[in-house]
Structure 1
Amino acid sequence: MASVYDFKASNNRRIFMLSAVFVVLVLVAAWWGSYAFALGAFVSDPINGEESYTSKIRHTLINHVIDNAVDGRMDAYFLPDAAALKTKARGLANRVTLVVFLLGLFWVLKGYKYGEWMVLNAAHAVRLKEPEHRELYRLATTACKAAGVAAPRLYVIMDDSLNAFTAGADPQRPAIVVTSGLLEKLSKQELEAVLSHEAAHIQFGDVKLIMTGLVTSLLFVLMGEACFASIVLNRKAGLLGFLAGGFAGIFCWTIGLIVCPLMNLAVSRECELRADAQAVLLCRNTGALISALEKISKDSRVEILDLHPSMVGLCIASPRARGSLLLELSGLAATHPPMAVRLAALKEMDGRA
């Protein structure tokens, strides 16, 4: 049977692979995108202090037509040598790729930590002060200590629905976010079970994995927007630069809006079942977790998270309204296992099945 250490090692391998693929894709897109964009931008610039490449083409074409009119031959190749233009474009592409590599390396090593700040701000989460919420902090600290992680910082989202998620990727400085509805509508035992579920995510390293994917997705989206903006702002890029910027933007958006979220969905579905089982071991109260999930399933939508679909996988239950019928039937948009499956697994652990 797999242990906590096995799950942590598995998540670390996934983080490494995700980071490696991220760096390779970014470097490939940066080099070819900047190279093609440079070709489009430099065709009108003087090369080595001489006339531009387009001027050379124009003059050579005129001379070619005149020569053909004189001797009647049409077999001469009239395009001038493009070696200087390609060399200049490659130089720029190499410099851009080096800068992108350094930024990507920094993002891989430290980016997930900044992801916590982005998630908390996107959710409009407010920090709860310990003196004013001693009992809640006691429950959360007990759950985290049972999981072998540090006492958490607690945040609240002012929403009447019932949901919770963990934003802190660092096990030495975790952050747990709950909705105001969860605090009002769950009993003490049910609340402890939910906090144990979130502590299990921290213990397994699930949060770091999901946050890495989330931050990677966000970065690719920003890169795509930067590519599209460069097309609008750089009017002298020409047709080749326009096509290069558009292709790079579509490529980055595809990775950021489709590929990374789908990877995160698959990861989060697996993590939820594992965290449910571990929460039972931490709080020793299967019935409380079953009761809490039943209440959460009836009203888990968090309206503010409708604007941030990439954060859905962090929550204990899907915080969004149902999607289209096709997506619901296919399961492609499912960020969590069906609640019936989760409850059946817990009831089986509790000997009810």
Structure 2
Amino acid sequence: MTDIYSQQRRNRRTTIVLMAAFVVLIVSLGLSIDIYNAGGLDGLRFPAATAAAFLISAVNLVVSFYLGDRLVVKSLGARRPDIKNPSHRRLHNVAVEMALASGTPMPKLYVIDDPAPNAFAAGRDPENAVIGVTGGLLDIMDRDELQAVVAHEFGHIRNYDIRTMTVVAVCVGTVAVLSDWAVRTWRYGGVASRRRKGAHPLVLIPMVVLVLLSPLISRIIAMAVSRSREYQADVSAAEFTRNPAALARALAKIAHSTIPVKGVHRGTAHLFIHDPMRRRLDDKEGRYAELLATHPPIKKRIERLEKMAYIWSRTGKSTGGAP
């Protein structure tokens, strides 16, 4: 069986590879547009599209980096917890406990008035992070389960997943903008046909295909990063609470609900512990689902946590030890 720390190392390696793939995709897309517009490498003087790709990425990244958490909180209508409310006070207490267990600063807490059970984390680093939970989550979780869900979100914060997914979202947006710009330019005659007359079709056709497929490719990479980070946060939650079974129970309760969280869109869905839009794809297994789902199948996540709990019950030790 895989122990906690082996899973952490594997998930980190996976994320590094996927982020590198994003950089390669954006550079390749920019260069493909430039070379196609120039009619080949010989006609290329200045890589304008490549430069635009980095400029767009930089602007989007700065905005998302410094304002992303506030924009998410505002879009969801979240509010600060009322300490006089028993369920809100319980949330605050378990958050304090998990801040100590994870060794991270206390994030700002928010409550979303929504019956769908779910939770999210956002921000740019542990010092500027927020955790939000829905009223539906507070209503159906016992204390151990709520602690496990909050621990999962602390895992995202400590592992800097909140920053990683901000960068991923910017990369996806950059690819979409570049691809759309190239298609519109080519469609409406922005590229002089005389520039392409001397270029060999075998050189230009692959570039056109890359431009057309790049939004899909970027989404596949983004979803792979998101799924990898969810597994990592589950492992971190088990590490903080020493109670993987509690998170397994919490995920089962969340999965049982079929209500989507209001105000969520595709750009923020990956921030939640489980797909807040309740798309069937995230609950399915198979090659297609694994490519496009924002979260791993919840059954697989529960199975992994139950295996950890089984090792714990047999050895009395963290699953970071030998089984």
CA gap 1:179/1:265 in 2 versus in 1, 3 angstroms: same
Considering only CA atoms, is the larger Rg found in Structure 1 or Structure 2?
1
Cα distance in structure 1, aligned partners of 2:238 and 2:8: 18
Q: What is the root-mean-square deviation in Å for CA atoms of aligned residues?
A: 4.3
CA contact (8 A) 1:168 1:174 kept: yes
Residues 1:106 and 2:58 are matched in the alignment: yes
Tell me the TM-score normalized by structure 2. 0.71
Alignment match of 1:317 (pick from 274, 295, 311): 274
8 Å CA contact retained: 2:115, 2:136: yes
String of CA shifts for 1:101-140, please: whole Å, max 9, x gaps.
651573597475168359717x822343255555433422
Q: CA deviation at 1:248?
A: 7.8
Which residue pairs with 1:269 in the alignment?
227
Matched, 1:343 2:302: yes
**Corresponding letter in the other structure for 1:179:** T
Q: Counterparts in 2 of 1:165-204, with a 5 A limit? A: 165-204=120-159
| 2:48 counterpart of 1:96 | yes
Q: Distance in 2 between matches of 1:317 and 1:328?
A: 15
CA distance in 2, matches of 1:157, 1:253: 38
Between Structure 1 and Structure 2, how many residues are aligned? 297
Q: Answer yes or no: is the 8 Å Cα contact 2:30–2:178 preserved in 1.
A: no
Give the match for residue 57 of structure 1. Answer: none
CA distance in 2: counterparts of 1:335 and 1:268, whole angstroms: 6
SS at match of 2:132: strand
Distance 1:227 1:104 in 2: 14
1:1-353 matched pairs, under 5 angstroms: 2=5, 6=9, 10=13, 13-14=16-17, 17-18=20-21, 20-35=23-38, 90-91=44-45, 94=46, 96-97=48-49, 99-100=51-52, 102-103=54-55, 106=58, 110=62, 113=65, 116-117=68-69, 120=72, 124-129=75-80, 132=83, 133-230=88-185, 251-252=210-211, 254-256=213-215, 258-299=216-257, 301-304=259-262, 307-308=265-266, 311-319=268-276, 320-323=278-281, 329-330=286-287, 331-332=289-290, 333-351=292-310
Please tell me whether the aligned partners of residues 118 and 273 of structure 2 are also in contact (alpha carbons under 8 angstroms). yes
Instruction: Give 1:6 shift.
Output: 4.6
C-alpha distance in 1 between matches for 2:25 and 2:96: 35
Q: CA offsets per residue over residues 249-306 of structure 1, 9 Å max, x none? A: 87445222x2122223333333333322321221233343232112101015525477
CA gap 1:140/1:247 in 2 versus in 1, 3 angstroms: farther
Return the alpha-carbon distance in structure 1 between the equivalents of residues 190 and 248 of structure 2. Answer: 62
What amino acid is the match of 1:199? F
Distance in 2, Cα, partners of 1:97 & 1:284: 50
Relative to structure 1, the CA distance from residue 11 to residue 120 in structure 2 (aligned partners, 3 Å threshold; closer, same or farther) is farther
CA displacement 1:113-171 (0-9 Å, x = unmatched)? 168359717x8223432555554334224323321222212344443211222222422
Alpha-carbon spacing, 1:255–1:23, altered in 2? closer, same or farther (3 Å): closer
Q: TM-score, normalised by structure 1?
A: 0.66
What SS does the aligned partner of 1:314 have?
coil
Deviations 1:233-257 (A, max 9, x none): x667566799xxx99887445222x
The letter for the 2-side match of 1:213 is: V
- Report the CA distance between 1:179 and its aligned residue: 2.4
Between the aligned partners of 1:115 and 1:30, the Cα distance in structure 2 is 31
Amino acid at match of 1:267: V
Higher relative contact order (CA 8 A, sep 6+): 2
Distance 2:226 2:50 in 1: 33
Name the structure 1 match of 2:320.
none
Amino acid at match of 2:91: L
Post-superposition offset of 1:99: 4.0
Contact 1:111–1:215 under 8 Å retained in 2: no
Task: Please tell me whether the aligned partners of residues 78 and 113 of structure 2 are also in contact (alpha carbons under 8 angstroms).
Answer: no
- Give the unaligned 5+ runs of structure 1: 40-85
- Structure 2, unmatched stretches of 5+, are 197-204, 315-323
Contact 2:11 2:228 in 1 (8 A): no
Distance 1:4 1:251, change over 3 A: closer
Partner Cα distance (1:247, 1:239) in 2: 18
1:304-326 deviation line (CA, Å, top 9, x unaligned)? 47741x5444322233221499x
CA distance in 1 between partners of 2:206 and 2:14 (Å):
33
| Distance apart, 1:172 and its partner CA | 2.0
Amino acid at match of 2:100: K
